[in-house]
Structure 1
Amino acid sequence: MVDKAQYANDEAEARGCLVLLRHGETEWSQSGQYTGRTDLPLVGQGRRQAVEAGLRLAREFPDGFDDGCVFSSPLDRAQQTAALAGFEHARTLESLAEWDYGRAEGRREEEVSRLLGRPWKLWEDGPEAIDRRLGGDREAPLPSGGAVLVRNSDGESLRQVSERAAAVVRRLQPLIEQGQRVLLVAHAHVLRILTTQWLGLEPSAAQLLRMNTAHYGVLGRYRGGNVLKRWNC
């Protein structure tokens, strides 16, 4: 006798997924400068990457994503990526904003270390370890020339970002369990941290998950548990 309930669960488990798409290239993603809340647009290469990502997603998910199940970070680079990938009606989800790097914003890791006079690592020390004297609004350079205004805050700790990400997981988990397909368009660090929360890992494990611009990962369910199905596609 066929267990209809189990069959329905298996069907939902096979179909349901959470797809995480990183935005395309910006000037600072090319140069390695921390880009949290500074609202940089995509460069030409980033726009092309977004279109190509949309084509890859269309091939892998020919039935698309469920109604009301496409979300984007509020930041322009993610919104642009969503639209160019074919998801111009993505719903804005504030919790998908990138990690607020505080006084590291617009700087590279080696620059922060030089200014502090000691080694500094984002994943180990966080923005909160940066001397307040390095804060305040300032102009940060663009590799193409000129500069952009950076409004520094104290930033977020890794734990604070993980709490935001965990709230997104709690909101979306029931949809995935029901067999729905959900797409999130956002940023490398917040998406990697969200992945650790889906998998029940410490948020620092996110540093082990590389995610290239305009690439995506797929989270899902298997035998009643949350799993990582594919990564950096």
Structure 2
Amino acid sequence: MTSERPGELVLVRHGETEWSKSGQHTGRTDIPLTENGVEQAKRAGRYLADRSFALALSSPLQRARDTAHLIGVDPELDEDLYEWDYGAYEGLTTPQIKVLRHGPWDLWTDGVPAGDTPGENAAEVRVRVERILNRARPVLAEGQDAVFIAHGHVLRALGAAWIRLAPQDGAVLKLGTASVSVLGYEHGRPVIDAWNIQPRD
């Protein structure tokens, strides 16, 4: 049975890491939260304390798993919530990548070359986020809420997919560390109810 009031999908980006501080592209490298990242995640948890979730999914990477536990949920791990695979650009900053390329570069339109991992482009990430959204939609249709805990670029790609933007349009959906965003419906249309909320005590 479909609920008259659909549920909401809450997105939480993991807290700060050393690489997010330095602007390094952190795809599959598994690094922990900083002390500040832990505090950020705790603030997000307090912000979400009054909510309950029928479905909680997290990226398998430590920074997302730890954020999930700090906000008070015990998630199922799903590889579709891995961060964008940065391939040969893993660990590099955007200025470093531009030097390597001898010119401009944009992740959303240019993608990345293979390195230790294959790398992904925006269309390939879109396939993953559509799959993970399909896990949430039946829950939301029943009037229950879901939460995904993951990474900046993959959640931006997911937000773009939710409101039916082109894959590369995730570029305009900025997300800070430990930010909270809410996706929902209005008159049956997918909408963004809130984006990039950074809870403060």
TM class by smaller structure: over 0.9
For 1:161 and 1:22, locate their aligned partners in 2 and report how far apart those are by CA, in whole Å. 16
Tell me which residue corresponds to 2:141: 177
**Alignment partner, residue 27 of structure 2:** 36
Deviating 4+ runs (over 2 angstroms): none
Displacement of 1:98: 0.3
Question: Equivalent residues in 2 for 1:111-190 (5 A)?
Answer: 111-128=96-113, 135=115, 152-190=116-154
**How far off its partner does 1:9 sit?**
4.2
Determine helix, strand or coil for the equivalent of 1:156. coil
Aligned twin of 1:142:
none
Name the residue aligned to 2:12: 21
Q: Which runs of 5+ in 1 are unaligned?
A: 136-151
Answering whether residue 66 of structure 2 is matched by residue 80 of structure 1, we say yes
Provide closer, same or farther for how the CA distance between residues 63 and 33 of structure 1 changes in structure 2, counting only shifts above 3 A. Answer: closer
Distance in 2 between the 1:63 and 1:50 partners? Answer: 15
Per the alignment, residue 184 of structure 2 pairs with: 220
Identity %: 43
Opposite residue 42 of structure 2, the aligned amino acid is V
Q: Counterparts of 2:187 and 2:31 in 1: how far apart (Å)?
A: 41
Paired letter, 1:100 = D
CA RMSD across the alignment: 1.5
Matched residue, 2:53: 65
**Cα deviations by residue, 1:42-85 (Å, 9 ceiling, x for unpaired):** 01000111111100111xxx24212xx11110000000101111
Structure 2 gap segments, 5+ residues each: none
- In structure 1, what is the Cα distance between the partners aligned to 2:195 and 2:103? 34
| Distance in 1, Cα, partners of 2:178 & 2:187 | 30
User: Higher helix proportion, which one?
Assistant: 1
| One-letter amino acid of the counterpart of residue 69, structure 2 | A
Q: Are the counterparts in 2 of residues 21 and 183 from structure 1 also a CA contact under 8 Å?
A: yes
Q: Which has the larger radius of gyration?
A: 1
- Contact 1:53/1:214 (CA < 8 Å) preserved in 2? yes
Contact 2:108 2:121 in 1 (8 A): no
- Structure 2 partner of 1:198: 162
2:45 paired with 1:54: yes
C-alpha separation in 1, matches of 2:110 and 2:158: 19
- Alignment partners' CA distance in 2, 1:156 and 1:21: 22
In 1, distance between residues paired with 2:111 and 2:62?
24
Give the letter for the 2:91 counterpart: G
Post-superposition Cα deviations, 1:121-162, rounded to whole Å, max 9, x if no partner, equal 21121103xxx6xx4xxxxxxxxxxxxxxxx22301111101
| Residue in structure 1 matched with residue 80 of structure 2 by the alignment | 95
Residue-by-residue CA offset, 1:93-133 (whole Å, 9 max, x unaligned): 110000000011000111111122222221121103xxx6x
Rounded to whole Å, the distance in 2 between the matches of 1:92 and 1:229 is 25
Q: Structure 1 residue 196: deviation in Å?
A: 1.1
Which SS does the other structure have where 1:219 is aligned?
strand
Query: For residues 51 and 169 of structure 2, what CA distance do their matches in structure 1 show?
Result: 32
Specify the code of the residue in structure 1 equivalent to 2:121: S
* Corresponding residue of 1:146: none
- Give the alignment's TM-score, normalised by structure 2: 0.93
1:177/1:221 contact within 8 Å kept: no
Instruction: Name the structure 1 match of 2:36.
Output: 45
Q: Which amino acid aligns with 1:74?
A: P
